[in-house]
Each structure stands twice: as C-alpha cells, then as structure tokens.
C-alpha cells in the first residue's frame, strides 16, 4: 500500500496553526498562559511521512476546573438563575441564535474534522449538517413538549400544572469519532432544558470546537456553557468529587464512565446519560440475499474505518453460505480506496489514534496464532497511519478480536451451524446495543426478531446497524448505554417532571387565574408556542 501524500487541495491545506489560547468560563473567553499541548494530525502533508502539527490547546489545571464548576453553579444559582427560570421561548431564541452562528462556521469545522480525526469529506460534511438539523429538530421537539404541558389537569380535587424542568449542572464529555455530533447530541438537549453545562472536548477533535466558542459565548447567558481543555483525570475528577454535578453525560467507554461515576460522593444525586461500547453482530441466515448482506456489512463494519460504536464488530454466517459470503466480502473489502479524507471516492482514511494500527495488528496476530486466516490480499498491510482491514476467519471465542471492541479496521467472521450459537453469545456478551439480521423467510425471522429485541435495542433487518435517523431511540442494554437518546428522548433524559399543584377552591383558583392573566410566572403558562 502506498503512503504517498496526494496533493492537498488549497482549501484544505493547513496554512497556519490554530492556537486555542483561551477557555470559556463565566461568559468570558479567558486567556491561558500556562501549559499547553500540541495537537497533531496523523495525516502527513509532506511526501515523506510526518504527522502534521495543527495547533495547541490549553492544559488547564484543577483550579480552572473548579472555576468552571463554580461558573456553572452560579449560572444555575440554586434554581434561581436566569437560564433555568427563563421562558421556554426565550431559551429557544438563544438556541436559534447559536445555531445560526454555528452554520457560518461549517467550512472551518469540516476542515478540522478531516485533519483531526481523518473523517472523509462527505462524512465530515454530513456530521456537521446532521448536527445542525439535530439542533433545529430539538427546538421543534421542545416546542411540542411545551405545547403538551400548556394546560392544567385536575384529579381528585387537585389542580396540577406539570412541566419538565432542568436537573442542574451537567458534565458533558463526548467521543473522538463524532466529536461534534455526539457531543452536541448531549450538550444541546441539556442546555435547552435549562441545565448549565461544563463541556470538555474529546481527546481528538478538539480544535474544531474553537470556531464555535464565540457563538457559545454570545448566544447564552454567562456561565451557562463552560468549555475547558485538558486531561480528563485532572479536570473531570475534581469536578465529580465535588458532589455538585447533577448529570454525567458521556459518550465513550464504560471504563471512564465507571471511574467518573465512582468519584461522585452522592450516588443518588447523580443522573447518568451514557452511550458506551458495543460489539454489534451481523447474523447471516442461509436464505439471505448475499449481495445485499455483503454491501450492508461493508458499510456496517468499515464506515469511518469501523470507528463507530454502532459498527458491526463481528459477523456470524451460517456454515452453508459462509464460503461464498467470505469470497464476495473479502473481494469487496479489497476494493475500498484508502487515502486522505478529501480525496475523491475515499472510504478508508488515516486513523487518528497513533497506537491504533499496532493494536489492530495485535488482534490479527492473536487470531492467526489461534487458527484464523486473513482472507483478503490487502488485509493487515500497514502504513504509518493505517492498517488495511483484515477479514479474519474462522474466528473463535478464545480470540481477542472476538472478545474486545476493536473500534477499528478488522473484521472477525464466525461460522455457525445452529442459530442458538450467536444467540447464546449475544446473551453472554457484556453489550447489547444493536444487531443486523439478514434473511428472508418470515417463519425463520419472526421468532428470531422476537428474541433479539430482548437482547439488544434495535434489530436491523437486512440493514447495517446505525444510530440515525436521530429521531429514533438510541440506547443499549448492559454495558452499552444508560438512558435513551433521540431528539425527543434526550429532552426527557436531561430533565425531570416537576409541577405546581393546588387544591381546588375559590381562593387558589383566583390566584392561578391571576398568575395566568398577568403572565408573571415563566413556569405557569398556558401560552402555546407556535
């Protein structure tokens, strides 16, 4: 495999370094003169391979973590803050202002997505556009929730005005594979519901937040959004130890989620919204349309080099069709073009984690040592920033590639005789996000679907696994998730039902009527937001 750097189009060239020398706390972009860390891309911009320096970010310390926490606490102000008490429609105005400003930064963010995490151009554009759509959809969903609450109920002589209110201060941590979209799928609903937020960008995909800092600063009241940079251990640990965080919102791995959760001294105060690892299987039945299954498995295993929590991470194929599937699948894997993100037709791109090729190599070596073969010609070819996906077969349970979430380009194929084999494996697995089921006969599919829906949270029929469309519930069982995200569900996850109740008598009725007529409460309102 060649490593030659194709010419970089002018609009994607790195012409200057991005020095992020401030962080957002208490509505101020505070200048930072302390320790910084260099941000490198694993993409080379020279003929001889060399990682590209993109810029620097602050390495804030415990003191700054504390000031971000104080800022968020002050903005919430024990429930009295401007933001948590603000009228729904005014919060929507702020969010709309933010998204309008964000849209003007598309080119900068897309370019940084390509350089920082190696996502190809169409997928980087999609990540940005999908996030913008997510914000607009969230606004609409919130309006609907508000409309549904714009009323009084009466039961057993008690009137109730029930709404959803914020939970408090949210610590928000996103993953490097969707540093914009997944982070914002937590941040945006958390904010719009009236919470205040401390947000630390992911380990890769940090600089792409810089173009949005001013929009955060100018769209929301001070202290509502706080953006900090540095190591999770240094920043997130003391914030959690304070016991003042109400929600841990994290998309990443369960190890970090467990570690952070365990730091919080008040377990019952802490709500969690977590999207974690998965090992989504594909199951290919004897009557499956193999061409369709191959295409869906290519997309499912290798979109963004397999660095997706929803990626297909193990393929079970019935023994009667496994040979044919492997032949067609391996052929197609080798047709995928590797290159830099902006190159036309590129499907496989440099891996942002420097140590990922070596890790994938370890998985391959372990599998080969235990009896698997690499089926495709290019499988395992290594360059400085990539390892070409290897199709491994036959894979068995003792192999690391079967047990670990590879989160990268390597594809284990397991042959089965009896459908109970994959079902047993799924039941034993620590994960339970999604499955892809390939087949046609409804009498075979029906009992399987009825079982699989109890093992995972989305059964994709003759389709690869994926999160979208974002209006659908995104969740998982066991170690795969905590809480449910979708445009609508996320608004629920970041809020709690809270209400005003009063006994039905003339005295209270007069007060309620006056509250409504004079529109003096932002909570008690039967106004219908159009």
Least Å from the CB of residue 200 to ligand G3H:
18
In whole angstroms, give the CA distance from residue 350 to residue 155: 61
Q: How many residues bind ligand G3H (CB under 6 A)?
A: 9
Query: Quick check: 445 and 461 in contact, CB under 8 A?
Result: yes
Q: What is the DSSP letter of 45?
A: S
Least Å from the CB of residue 39 to ligand G3H:
21
For position 235 contacting ligand G3H by CB under 6 A, the verdict is: no
Q: What size, in residues, is the chain? A: 530
CA distances from 272 to 54, 166, 169, 476 (A): 34, 14, 12, 14
Q: Using the minimum distance from each CB to ligand G3H, give the nearer residue, 314 or 423.
A: 314
Q: Using the minimum distance from each CB to ligand G3H, give the nearer residue, 145 or 251.
A: 251
Q: Using the minimum distance from each CB to ligand G3H, give the nearer residue, 322 or 452.
A: 452
Least Å from the CB of residue 474 to ligand G3H:
7
Query: Quick check: 207 and 112 in contact, CB under 8 A?
Result: yes
Which of the ranges 137-145, 262-270, 444-452, 460-468 carries the binding residues for ligand G3H, by CB under 6 A?
Answer: 460-468
For position 407 contacting ligand G3H by CB under 6 A, the verdict is: no
Q: Using the minimum distance from each CB to ligand G3H, give the nearer residue, 177 or 305.
A: 177
Candidates 177, 196, 263, 415; binder of ligand G3H (CB under 6 A) is: 177
Looking up tokens 């084999």 gives: 421
In whole angstroms, give the CA distance from residue 454 to residue 439: 19
Site string for ligand G3H, 181-200 (x = CB under 6 A): -x------------------
Candidates 178, 338, 342, 359; binder of ligand G3H (CB under 6 A) is: 178
Which of the ranges 19-27, 100-108, 307-315, 364-372 carries the binding residues for ligand G3H, by CB under 6 A?
Answer: 307-315
Closest CA to 194 of 302, 312, 89, 53: 89
Query: Quick check: 5 and 44 in contact, CB under 8 A?
Result: yes
Candidates 466, 475, 480, 486; binder of ligand G3H (CB under 6 A) is: 466
Which of the ranges 52-60, 162-170, 306-314, 374-382 carries the binding residues for ligand G3H, by CB under 6 A?
Answer: 306-314
In whole angstroms, give the CA distance from residue 311 to residue 75: 39
Which of the ranges 18-26, 82-90, 342-350, 466-474 carries the binding residues for ligand G3H, by CB under 6 A?
Answer: 466-474
Q: Using the minimum distance from each CB to ligand G3H, give the nearer residue, 81 or 252.
A: 252
Q: Is 43 exposed, middle or buried, given 0-12, 13-18 or 19+ CB atoms closer than 10 A?
A: buried
Least Å from the CB of residue 311 to ligand G3H:
8
3 state DSSP class of 203 = coil
In whole angstroms, give the CA distance from residue 10 to residue 527: 52
Which of the ranges 28-36, 226-234, 461-469, 515-523 carries the binding residues for ligand G3H, by CB under 6 A?
Answer: 461-469
Q: Using the minimum distance from each CB to ligand G3H, give the nearer residue, 64 or 182.
A: 182
Write the CB contacts of 380 (distance below 8 Å, at least 6 apart in sequence).
Answer: 361, 364, 374, 387, 388, 390
In whole angstroms, give the CA distance from residue 83 to residue 79: 9
For position 308 contacting ligand G3H by CB under 6 A, the verdict is: yes
Nearest-Å Rg of the Cα atoms of the chain is 25
CA distances from 337 to 28, 66, 300 (A): 45, 47, 16
Torsion (CA) 24, 30, 33, 37 in degrees, nearest 10: 10
Candidates 468, 503, 519, 527; binder of ligand G3H (CB under 6 A) is: 468
Candidates 120, 254, 310, 406; binder of ligand G3H (CB under 6 A) is: 310
For position 309 contacting ligand G3H by CB under 6 A, the verdict is: yes
Least Å from the CB of residue 438 to ligand G3H:
18
Q: Using the minimum distance from each CB to ligand G3H, give the nearer residue, 22 or 463.
A: 463
Torsion (CA) 214, 219, 221, 225 in degrees, nearest 10: -60
For position 254 contacting ligand G3H by CB under 6 A, the verdict is: no
Least Å from the CB of residue 107 to ligand G3H:
22
Dig out the tokens for 309 from the structure.
């929590």
Which of the ranges 8-16, 177-185, 409-417, 492-500 carries the binding residues for ligand G3H, by CB under 6 A?
Answer: 177-185
Least Å from the CB of residue 333 to ligand G3H:
19
In whole angstroms, give the CA distance from residue 7 to residue 346: 14
Residue 407, Cα to own-chain centre: how many angstroms?
14
Binding site for ligand G3H (CB under 6 A): 177-178, 182, 308-310, 466-468
């Amino acid at each position: 495999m060649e490593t030659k750097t194709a010419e970089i189009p002018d609009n994607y060239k790195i012409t200057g370094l991005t020095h992020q020398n401030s962080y957002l706390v208490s509505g101020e972009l505070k200048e930072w003169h302390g320790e910084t860390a260099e941000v490198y891309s694993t993409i080379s911009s020279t003929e001889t391979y060399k990682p590209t320096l993109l810029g620097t970010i602050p390495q804030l310390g415990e003191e700054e973590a504390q000031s971000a926490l104080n800022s968020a606490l002050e903005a919430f102000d024990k429930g009295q803050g401007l933001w948590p008490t603000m009228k729904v429609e005014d919060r929507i105005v702020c969010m709309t202002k933010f998204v309008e400003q964000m849209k003007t930064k598309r080119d900068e963010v897309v370019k940084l997505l390509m350089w920082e995490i190696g996502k190809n151009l169409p997928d980087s554009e999609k990540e940005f556009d999908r996030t913008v759509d997510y914000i607009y959809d969230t606004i609409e969903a919130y309006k609907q929730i508000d409309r549904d609450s714009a009323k009084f109920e009466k039961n057993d002589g008690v009137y109730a005005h029930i709404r959803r209110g914020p939970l408090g201060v949210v610590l928000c941590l996103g993953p490097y594979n969707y540093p914009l979209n997944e982070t914002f799928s937590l941040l945006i609903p958390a904010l719009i519901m009236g919470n205040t937020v401390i947000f630390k960008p992911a380990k890769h995909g940090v600089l792409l937040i810089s173009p949005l800092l001013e929009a955060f600063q100018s769209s929301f009241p001070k202290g509502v959004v706080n953006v900090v940079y540095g190591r999770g251990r240094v920043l997130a640990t003391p914030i959690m130890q304070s016991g003042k965080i109400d929600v841990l919102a994290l998309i990443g791995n369960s190890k970090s989620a467990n570690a952070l959760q365990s730091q919080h001294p008040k377990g019952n105060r802490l709500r969690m919204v977590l999207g974690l690892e998965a090992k989504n299987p594909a199951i290919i039945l004897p009557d499956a349309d193999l061409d369709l299954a191959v295409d869906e498995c290519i997309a499912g295993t290798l979109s963004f080099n397999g660095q997706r929590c929803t990626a297909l991470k193990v393929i079970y194929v019935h023994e009667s069709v496994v040979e044919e599937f492997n032949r067609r699948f391996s052929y197609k894997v080798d047709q995928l073009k590797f290159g830099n993100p902006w190159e036309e037709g590129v499907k496989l791109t440099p891996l942002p984690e420097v140590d990922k090729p070596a890790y994938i190599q370890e998985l391959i070596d372990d599998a080969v040592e235990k009896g698997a073969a690499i089926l495709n010609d290019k499988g395992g070819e290594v360059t400085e920033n990539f390892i070409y996906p290897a199709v491994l077969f036959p894979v068995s349970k003792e192999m690391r590639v079967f047990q670990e979430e590879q989160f990268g380009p390597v594809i284990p194929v397991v042959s089965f005789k009896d459908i109970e084999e994959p079902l047993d494996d799924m039941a034993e697995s620590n994960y339970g996000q999604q499955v892809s089921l390939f087949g046609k006969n409804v009498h075979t599919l029906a009992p399987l679907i009825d079982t699989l829906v109890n093992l995972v949270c989305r059964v994709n029929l003759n389709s690869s696994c994926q999160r979208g469309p974002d209006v659908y519930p995104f969740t998982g069982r066991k170690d795969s998730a905590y809480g449910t995200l979708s445009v609508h569900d996320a608004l629920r996850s970041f809020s709690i039902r809270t209400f005003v109740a009063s006994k039905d008598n003339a005295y209270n009725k007069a007060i309620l009527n006056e509250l409504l007529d004079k529109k003096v409460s932002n909570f008690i309102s039967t106004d219908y937001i159009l």
